[in-house]
Structure 1
Amino acid sequence: MTEGGPAAPGPSEGRGSRALGNRGVLVSSASTVLFFAIVAVVVVLAPGSGIVAERFFDPSHLWQSLVGSVGLPSVLGAFWLNVQIFMVSEVFILILALVIAVVRGIPGPVFFPFRLVAVAYTDLFRGVPLILVLYMIGFGVPGLDLGFISYLPDVAYGVISLVLVYSAYVAEVYRAGIESVHESQNAAARSLGLTRWQSLRFVVLPQAIRRVIPPLLNDFIGLQKDTALVSVLGSIEAARAAQIYGASEFNYASYVVAALLFVLITIPLARFTDRLIARDKRRREAGALA
């Protein structure tokens, strides 16, 4: 006598599902190839395609702008400044944003002024465009004559602006992660004798940060691209180096080189984010089935 329950799929059903999966892969591949073929035909047959190819994709200009020449900066060398700005800004953003998120969640009337400042900070810097913050910090702080603070290099003001703006966004990501942890976790920690800060540090924050890693990586993909805006303060990073080359040689291949360098950084980060999201989804589905 057998127990009741769903029957296991037979061989014919397994073959049918595999056939449907293979058919879906073929259809998606064919549609992708067709789409890019149409785009290529439109670009090649466009009346000005020859001019565009000469001004944007000339091999000699692509190489010369990449490595640099006498009197002209290298886009590749300037891109290293973008990477440095990104790495330094990321460290300060992670720290400052976490502090803001924690402050916004502190209960009690005594901490109301701190919560108010944290809310005002996030509202302000999420509402003002980054480029305006760059102008105000980069040209306003030097005019205040605050000693060495008013004589920092342009890159430092760029980093400060990026940290101020992105910390507001990342703080909200952190806060969403903290609020996603069920209150029973905090209550259980308090019942074991942990203080509020200990339960936050050892119970709530580890779970919250693990849950928000994918959206954090998405924010940092945007941060990597926005490092190009630091050029408005005079720093010669990849976008500014490409602009200098284009203005000097009357050729825009340098912009293509700069764009490809950014893509080489952002695509691996995007795929890594997708993998983390998929892994988290599988983990949650496995937990639900268990």
Structure 2
Amino acid sequence: MSETVTAGHPPASPTQAGSALAVPVSTARTMLLAAAIVALATIALTVVTAVAVFRASTAGSWAIGLTLLALLPVLASLFTIWPFTQGVRQHRLCRTAQASHDLVDFRLYRSRASNSSWITMGICLPIILVCLFVLLLVANDHAVQVTFFDVSFMSTTFTTIVKAFGKNIAIAVIAEVLVLVFGLVLAIGRMAPGTAGRPIRWLATLYVDAFRAIPGIIVIYLIGFGLPLANIPVLSDLGVFWSAILALALTYSAYVAEVFRAGIQSIHQSQTAASRSLGLPYGKTMRFVVVPQAVKRVLPPLLNDFIGLQKDTALVTIIGVVDAFSQATIYSSNYFNLSSVTLVAVLFIIITIPQTRFVDRLIEKDQSTMKARG
């Protein structure tokens, strides 16, 4: 007698079905139990946070904001009920499939139940972090909020700090241009061919190793205070602004040189061989064939280095540059409040995060292009 195959799932052999269904559904059940505990703890934490905010004394313009910030997690925590109930439903279907020895549905519903548990806990995590942050703000009679996030003090110092922040941007932009040029020269120097290029390779390698080993703040200090003390013509008269640019350019050129070198080495040797076979000398081969391809490949890591350079412009305050950070420290020392320093941090975040997302976009685009090419 031939076996009839019904529409739907192909029949599994009794041995396969028995061994697979012998696997307990305890994994999905454990995940649901963990999700239930996390969800209940999250809801309880949101309620505690809301009560703490309501009982805390008012804190000026932050009173309404903190109240809304405390109510939002309470409402958001209720959304955990939906994926959790879906997980419970999938778990019941899993038990039903186990009882009917349906191997495919058993695995399907067990996977869906576990996935719903992970979704529930994933929703709870940001809610817990927001609640902990709000509790930190309202602790000790809003001491943290008054010290670090005083909106009225931020608004008072905003104009002065933003103007000083323009100096940070100017230092970063000028230094980045110098770094691009000098870093590429160092990278090519590290790869100078032949016996004649050996001294150049040694010098470039020594420079890169030295400036990658020395902390940037030390380079800034040595150039900012050392050059005027040494009374070197021209260099001693640079001033703190250009001394800061020079120090950052010297430091980050060593890092960017390695990025360029990695990009150049990633270009296949056939490109160089083909251009040399056409009669192009080494210099023109690097200029017209290798370097343009390498630069395109290393744009994401280059932008990452420039983000780091922008953040390190705050270090130039040690040599007397009146940038945003130094201006903020003046306010904080005069008024014993660090909200102005928090404002500087916010400004750096505002200019850095878009660049970071742009880098991620470039990386995704490069990966997509490579996949399309096979």
Identify the residue that residue 44 of structure 2 maps to in structure 1.
none
Identify the residue that residue 153 of structure 2 maps to in structure 1.
61
The Cα offsets for residues 108-138 of structure 1, whole Å up to 9 and x where unpaired, read as: 1112111111000000000000011111111
State the TM-score, normalized to the length of structure 1.
Answer: 0.85
Offset, 1:144:
1.3
Structure 1 residues 236 and 34: CA distance shift in structure 2, 3 A: same
State the TM-score, normalized to the length of structure 2.
Answer: 0.67
Give, as a single letter, the amino acid of the residue that structure 1 aligns with 2:144.
V
1:135 paired residue among 188, 196, 221: 221
State whether residues 173 and 212 of structure 1, in contact with CA within 8 Å, keep that contact through their aligned partners in structure 2.
Answer: yes
State whether residues 137 and 143 of structure 2, in contact with CA within 8 Å, keep that contact through their aligned partners in structure 1.
Answer: no
Offset, 1:41:
4.6
Structure 1 residues 23 and 203: CA distance shift in structure 2, 3 A: farther
Structure 1 residues 185 and 258: CA distance shift in structure 2, 3 A: same
The Cα offsets for residues 56-90 of structure 1, whole Å up to 9 and x where unpaired, read as: 212210101112xxxxxx11110000000000000
211-220 vs 55-64, greater mean Cα deviation: 55-64
Q: Please give the secondary structure, in 1, of the residue aligned with 2:196.
A: helix
1:245 aligns with 2:331: yes
Identify the residue that residue 164 of structure 1 maps to in structure 2.
250
Offset, 1:196:
1.6
1:236 aligns with 2:322: yes
Q: Please give the secondary structure, in 2, of the residue aligned with 1:103.
A: helix
Q: Which structure 2 residues correspond to residues 18-167 of structure 1 after superposition, within 5 A? A: 30-44=123-137, 46=139, 48=140, 50-67=142-159, 74-167=160-253
The Cα offsets for residues 241-273 of structure 1, whole Å up to 9 and x where unpaired, read as: 110010111111101110000000000000000
The Cα offsets for residues 217-239 of structure 1, whole Å up to 9 and x where unpaired, read as: 00001000000000000111011
Offset, 1:201:
1.2
1:224 aligns with 2:310: yes
Give, as a single letter, the amino acid of the residue that structure 2 aligns with 1:169.
Y
Identify the residue that residue 283 of structure 2 maps to in structure 1.
197
Greater relative contact order (Cα 8 A, min sep 6): structure 1 or 2?
Answer: 1
The Cα offsets for residues 163-192 of structure 1, whole Å up to 9 and x where unpaired, read as: 000000000000000001111111111122
Identify the residue that residue 9 of structure 1 maps to in structure 2.
none
Counterparts of 1:261 and 1:166 in 2: how far apart (Å)? 22
State whether residues 173 and 215 of structure 1, in contact with CA within 8 Å, keep that contact through their aligned partners in structure 2.
Answer: yes
275-284 vs 103-112, greater mean Cα deviation: 103-112
Q: Please give the secondary structure, in 2, of the residue aligned with 1:109.
A: coil
Q: Please give the secondary structure, in 1, of the residue aligned with 2:197.
A: helix
Give, as a single letter, the amino acid of the residue that structure 1 aligns with 2:291.
L
1:212 aligns with 2:298: yes
The Cα offsets for residues 22-76 of structure 1, whole Å up to 9 and x where unpaired, read as: 9799658614532433433541464x36111112212210101112xxxxxx111
Root-mean-square deviation (CA), in Å?
2.1
Identify the residue that residue 285 of structure 1 maps to in structure 2.
371
State whether residues 138 and 145 of structure 2, in contact with CA within 8 Å, keep that contact through their aligned partners in structure 1.
Answer: no
Name structure 1 gaps, 5 residues minimum. 1-15, 68-73
Rg: which structure is higher? Answer: 2
State whether residues 83 and 224 of structure 1, in contact with CA within 8 Å, keep that contact through their aligned partners in structure 2.
Answer: yes
State whether residues 183 and 253 of structure 2, in contact with CA within 8 Å, keep that contact through their aligned partners in structure 1.
Answer: yes
Counterparts of 1:277 and 1:23 in 2: how far apart (Å)? 31
Structure 1 residues 33 and 139: CA distance shift in structure 2, 3 A: same
Give, as a single letter, the amino acid of the residue that structure 2 aligns with 1:33.
P
Name structure 2 gaps, 5 residues minimum. 1-107
Counterparts of 2:342 and 2:324 in 1: how far apart (Å)? 11
Counterparts of 1:224 and 1:24 in 2: how far apart (Å)? 42
State whether residues 137 and 145 of structure 2, in contact with CA within 8 Å, keep that contact through their aligned partners in structure 1.
Answer: no
Aligned residues: 263
Counterparts of 2:118 and 2:365 in 1: how far apart (Å)? 22
- What is the aligned-residue identity percentage? 43
Structure 1 residues 85 and 28: CA distance shift in structure 2, 3 A: farther
